[in-house]
Amino acid sequence: MTATATSRLSGLPDSPADLRTFLHGLPGVDKVGIEARAAALGTRSVKTTSKAQAIDLAIRMVDLTTLEGADTPGKVRALSAKALRPDPADPTCPPVAAVCVYPAMVPTAAAVLAGSGVHLASVATAFPSGQAPLDVKLADTRDAVAGGADEIDMVISRGAFLAGDYAHVFDEIVAVKEAAGPAHLKVILETGELGTYDNVRRASWLAMLAGADFIKTSTGKVPVAATLPVTLLMLEAVRDFRDRYGRQVGVKPAGGIRTTKDAIKYLVMINETCGDDWLHPDWFRLGASSLLNDLLMQRTKLTTGHYAGPDYFTLD
Amino acid sequence: MFEYAPAPESRSIVDLAPSYGLFIDGEFGEAKDTFKTVNPADEQVLAEVALASPEDVDRAVAAARRAFAGWSALPGSERAKYLFRIARILQERARELAVLESLDNGKPIRESRDVDLPLVAAHFFYYAGWADKLKYAGFGSDPRPLGVAGQVIPWNFPLLMLAWKIAPALATGNTVVLKPAETTPLSALFFADVCRQAELPPGVVNIVTGAGDTGRYLVEHPDVNKVAFTGSTEVGRQIARSVAGTGKRLTLELGGKAANIVFDDAPIDQAVEGIVNGIFFNQGHVCCAGSRLLVQESIAEELLSSLKRRMATLRVGDPLDKNTDIGAINSAAQLARITELSEIGAAEGAERWSPPCELPDRGFWFPPTIFTGVTQAHRIAREEIFGPVLSVLTFRTPAEAVEKANNTPYGLSAGIWSDKGSQILAVADKLRAGVVWANTFNKFDPTSPFGGYKESGYGREGGRHGLEAYLA
Amino acid sequence: MPKSSKTAPAVAERSRLAVRKTYKLYVGGKFPRSESGRTYLVDGDNVALASRKDARDAVVAARAAQPKWAGATAYNRGQVLYRVAEMIEARRAEFAALGVAPVEVDAVIDRWVWYAGWSDKVAQVAGGANPVAGPFFNISAPEPTGVVGVIAPSSLLGLVSVIAPAIVTGNTVVVVASNPQAAITLAEVLATSDVPGGVVNILTGRGAEIAPWLASHDDVNALDLSGVDDAGLATELERAAAGTLKRVLRPVSGVDYTGDPGTGPMTALLEIKTVWHPKGF
């Protein structure tokens, strides 16, 4: 790892051995305890006015995502349009935070989103496996930014991480961050492949130390995606990281969040773990696709007083 | 700012009568005197309840005695089916009973719903299964019931303590006369109704409501064969004295002043949760509460700031609000005791801290509170406060932690937080306490024996061990 | 006071003057006289008459010895108890000379052997894993309660039947014995059998005088009243024991010490400790 990369924050570990010592010196995570805490937060009852407020906030936090081999310009244009006006029937409904697509689709989305304030995120770095040479990953990143993406969702090399080569992962993040230039860097830990909560905490800190603007749970392409306990752990990590280094990092759970009820559980978790400072689309995102329609249906239920049906919402 | 709108559980699910009599021999009957039970969250009267006289207790014991012959002669498999039936009815009526418990006790509905009631039903379900397997329990090939059990329970977990008492007593073929606490009589009376629904034979369970005198008369009754008490060490002492020489079997589950030990290698976020759960669960009205936090000096500052940040998210207020974490203190008397000991803590030089929190105008409330700079010499480090008040002490080495943890006449429970297995096992070994929670706290299960060392009492409740107290 | 009960043989009949044994207390592995300086005559022997201060000293000795004894491996404690049986076997004549019938000595020896074998089994019988409804390792295991005050029955078999079950699990005892010569002879066996000093402490004297001090002593964890024949005294002692909520073994009338003792005498002096730990990675 390079001296320049580590000098950004003071008091950072400055050799691979130090980095290892640092990451393994982080407090352990007890699985049963963190899962019990996440479950307890999940029992919060958010109703009426709080629910309305939570739904709008959740919509504003959505990274509306399509990451399919079958994505076409038409599909991406439709999705981008939906991002701008999720509920065409209700002008009070806010836009989502961002659209998230593959690099090849960035120019298409950019054409729709330009000037709207809705961000354009692109997965890069040989998403989802990350199993490609560094120069390919960097080119991937530069292309996406050049095409108009202002947010890059990179994947870490889980293989290197699990092999204990933390410096390799660190250096890659630093390099991608540099390649991304002005774009915000979200670092996908792929927590479903890390195996333990202790690893999730270490990977979170590793990504933050290397310069991540956001840490993100998952690609959505492995069986276990975002979970409440994993997100809780990452929220604790960004909270503690800011306490220690003064820099705020965002969190993005992605994959498997489909219902309003789930989304609200995440908001409750932010509220009672990090507090207000993270309750904003700049600091928390929900990587999702079908979630948006459920949020819209629940929103309609609150405004009209009767239950909504899926035929009344666009399927883009 | 994300505020949660009020989310009250409906109390209409509970149909409260204006007054309740005594449940003796399968019937509710009147009593000469009555007393009122109030909702500690708003001081409103919930119902009038019979104050059992000595004659009433005599009648209840006589009914239990009459029922004993038939009940103890039933095949275990038949007794089991009654208990299974009770367990099922409790599950079906869980929401109603949870709301009732929160109304009478002041505990948050989240706890009565998610902890008390599930454990109550599970306890009956567990002991039901023992009723026809007693000869395999390790207490001889032909274990016999003792007779009539006189049982006196506290107000902190009214229905759960009832379950801990009644389920093993009935499974083993004993009959019972149970006195619920003066401030929380209602769930026991609703349980009487559950017994009727289950068509439990009359006299097998009798409920006498009243105050301390009623309880004293019950445990001193000459025709009671077995006394089981959960409550304060002081009353336990009196009961042990009064039972001396009578040959009555006695089990006592009394007070505690548990040490919750946090080592520098603890899983810190879970430790903070464990500390909060240890002392603020059920408003700290828990005999096994982790009321003494022993934190390794090297991480004390960091841990305390995490703890304070966490405490600031605790929601104090309406017990029936589904988002309430800390409900009402059970009674004016208990509030006075907590207040007095807290004032003594401050006067003795400990530093007091509570998060900003607005307390309701009516009812009995106490904010979650921690005292730092506490030493072993402080009264708040020695006496059971039985409220949401945590005393924080520090230690330097594991040996010092063990020494401080054990330096108390109590010995009910203890907590250990560390990521190092050998350290956990060594400390668990050395702690003089009946329940040791390592990297967790305040966990209960019907299969897991619970009870104290030293002045925290004797006998175990729960598990195979819990049968012993009711078998000859 | 002279040994007045024995008639002195005429000088001419003496071949060699016997060396008599002095029956003293057994405290902390030593044989001290009573701090009170008192003795009483039993079958012509001056026997130390223990005082409340001797009881106090014995509790100190028992407390000091307890952690290490409890910390010894169960296997080790079993071996020590078995060694006691061996030593009694070798000293049968001494007990016979005190009037203990050979059949009782047999039973005494066999009782030590029976308890020796229990040392590493009782925890398995009295403890176990609990199948709690959650991701927790949950285990209950017995531990010794600590220091036990024992008012012992008068027979040697009775005495052994209250000492052995108490100490086999790691308790230490302060015993008030009412058969002083046999009890102190047993103490001599214990002192030469690898039983650490302080694990068994034997006071000879009047139970009614010393027992209340043990019953009310704040540093005694349990009280075994097996040898208390007076129901009034037993009640008084049980009441005093309530002061610190001691575990009390009440006297049972007509106990036949030759019968199978069962596990009760051991388990009554055990505390069940339940340990929880989460499971997960």
- pLDDT at residue B41 greater than cutoff 50: yes
Q: Is residue C208 part of a domain?
A: yes
A216 is catalytic: yes
Tally B–C CB contacts below 8 A.
104
Q: What is the mean pLDDT of chain C?
A: 95
What is the average pLDDT across B45-58? Answer: 98
Q: Is residue C13 part of a domain?
A: no
User: Residue ranges of the alpha helices (H) in C169-228?
Assistant: 180-191, 207-216
Domain count along chain C:
1
Q: What is the DSSP letter of B9?
A: P
What is the average pLDDT across C146-169? Answer: 98
Q: Contact at 8 Å (CB) between B90 and B210?
A: no
Tokens in use for C151?
């008012």
Min distance A250 CA to chain B CA atoms (Å): 17
The CA–CA distances, whole Å, from A237 to A8, A58, A202, B266 equal 19, 21, 9, 16
- pLDDT at residue C277 greater than cutoff 50: yes
Residues of A in contact with B110 (CB under 8 A): 43
Q: Contact at 8 Å (CB) between B285 and B330?
A: yes
Cross-chain residue pair A195–C136, CB shorter than 8 Å: no
Q: Is residue C10 part of a domain?
A: no
B132-186 residue pLDDT tens: 999 999 999 999 999 999 999 999 999 999 999 999 999 999 999 999 999 999 9
- pLDDT at residue C1 greater than cutoff 90: no
Tokens in use for A240?
């503690």
pLDDT band at C15 (very low <50, low <70, confident <90, very high): confident
Residues of B in contact with C245 (CB under 8 A): 233, 236-237, 240, 252, 254, 454-455, 457-458
Q: In angstroms, how far is the first alpha carbon of chain C from the final one? A: 76
- pLDDT at residue A3 greater than cutoff 50: no
B372-400 residue pLDDT tens: 999 999 999 999 999 999 999 999 999 99
A181-199 residue pLDDT tens: 999 999 999 999 999 999 9
Q: What is the ipTM of this complex?
A: 0.96
Chains touching chain C through at least 3 C-beta pairs below 8 angstroms are: A, B
The widest CA-to-CA distance across chain A, in whole angstroms, is 60
CA distance B358 to B316: 8
B3 is catalytic: no
Cross-chain residue pair B240–C128, CB shorter than 8 Å: no
Q: Which residue of C has its CA nearest to B443?
A: C276
Min distance B426 CA to chain A CA atoms (Å): 19
Q: Is residue C33 part of a domain?
A: yes
Exposed (0-12), middle (13-18) or buried (19+): which is B332, by Cβ within 10 Å? middle
How many helices (H) and strands (E) would you count in chain C? 10, 10
Residues of C in contact with A35 (CB under 8 A): 280
Phi, psi for residue B330 in degrees, rounded to 5: -65, -30
pLDDT band at A11 (very low <50, low <70, confident <90, very high): low
Note whether B123 contacts C: Cβ–Cβ < 8 A: no
CA distance B282 to B279: 8
Q: Is residue C7 part of a domain?
A: no
Q: What is the mean pLDDT of chain A?
A: 95
Beta bridge partners of A63: A98, A287
Residues of A in contact with C136 (CB under 8 A): 32
Confidence at residue B303, expressed as pLDDT on a 0 to 100 scale: 98
Q: Which residue of C has its CA nearest to B421?
A: C277
- B445 — alpha (psi -120 to 50), left (phi > 0) or beta? beta
B63-81 residue pLDDT tens: 999 999 999 999 999 999 9
Phi, psi for residue B149 in degrees, rounded to 5: -100, 130
Min distance B428 CA to chain C CA atoms (Å): 7
C196-205 residue pLDDT tens: 999 999 999 9
pLDDT band at C6 (very low <50, low <70, confident <90, very high): low
- pLDDT at residue A6 greater than cutoff 80: no
pLDDT band at A7 (very low <50, low <70, confident <90, very high): very low
Identified catalytic residue from B101, B182, B287, B288: B287
- pLDDT at residue C141 greater than cutoff 70: yes
A31 is catalytic: no
pTM exceeds 0.90, yes or no = yes
CA distance B437 to C136: 10
What is the average pLDDT across C42-54? Answer: 95
Question: pLDDT exceeding 70 applies to what percent of chain A?
Answer: 97
* SS3 call for B30: coil
B243-271 residue pLDDT tens: 999 999 999 999 999 999 999 999 999 99
Tokens in use for B146?
């003792």
Quote the domain boundaries for residue C69. 22-278
Chains touching chain B through at least 3 C-beta pairs below 8 angstroms are: A, C
H or E stretch at B64: helix B54-73
C-alpha B22, offset from chain centre = 23
Note whether B449 contacts C: Cβ–Cβ < 8 A: yes
Question: pLDDT exceeding 70 applies to what percent of chain B?
Answer: 100
Q: Closest to C242 (Cβ–Cβ): which among B241, B411, B435?
A: B241
What is the average pLDDT across C113-141? Answer: 98
Higher pLDDT, C178 or A118: A118
Q: Is residue C49 part of a domain?
A: yes
Note whether C133 contacts A: Cβ–Cβ < 8 A: no
Exposed (0-12), middle (13-18) or buried (19+): which is B126, by Cβ within 10 Å? buried
* SS3 call for A108: helix
Confidence at residue A181, expressed as pLDDT on a 0 to 100 scale: 97
Identified catalytic residue from A51, A82, A186, A216: A216
Cβ neighbors of A38 (< 8 A, separation 6 or more) are: A227, A228, A229, A231, A232, A269
Report the range of poorest mean pLDDT among A261-265, A303-307, B319-323, B386-390: A303-307
Confidence at residue C2, expressed as pLDDT on a 0 to 100 scale: 43
- pLDDT at residue A257 greater than cutoff 90: yes
Q: What is the mean pLDDT of chain B?
A: 97
- pLDDT at residue C5 greater than cutoff 90: no
- pLDDT at residue B354 greater than cutoff 80: yes
Cross-chain residue pair B458–C221, CB shorter than 8 Å: no
- pLDDT at residue A272 greater than cutoff 70: yes
Q: Is residue C238 part of a domain?
A: yes
Identified catalytic residue from A63, A140, A153, A171: A153
Q: Is residue C158 part of a domain?
A: yes
A126-184 residue pLDDT tens: 999 999 999 999 999 999 999 999 999 999 999 999 999 999 999 999 999 999 999 99
What is the average pLDDT across A19-45? Answer: 97
CA distance A153 to A24: 26
Report the range of poorest mean pLDDT among A253-267, B74-88, C13-27, C229-243: C13-27
Neighbours of A146 (CB within 10 A): 12
Residues of A with a Cβ under 8 Å from any B Cβ are 27-30, 32-34, 36-37, 43-51, 53-54, 57, 233, 236, 267-268, 270-272, 276, 279
What is the average pLDDT across B271-275? Answer: 98
Q: What is the DSSP letter of A312?
A: G
Q: Closest to B5 (Cβ–Cβ): which among A32, A49, A272?
A: A49
Q: What is the CATH number of the domain that holds C254?
A: 3.40.605.10
- pLDDT at residue B348 greater than cutoff 90: yes
* SS3 call for C52: helix
Q: Which residue of C has its CA nearest to B252?
A: C245
Confidence at residue A4, expressed as pLDDT on a 0 to 100 scale: 44
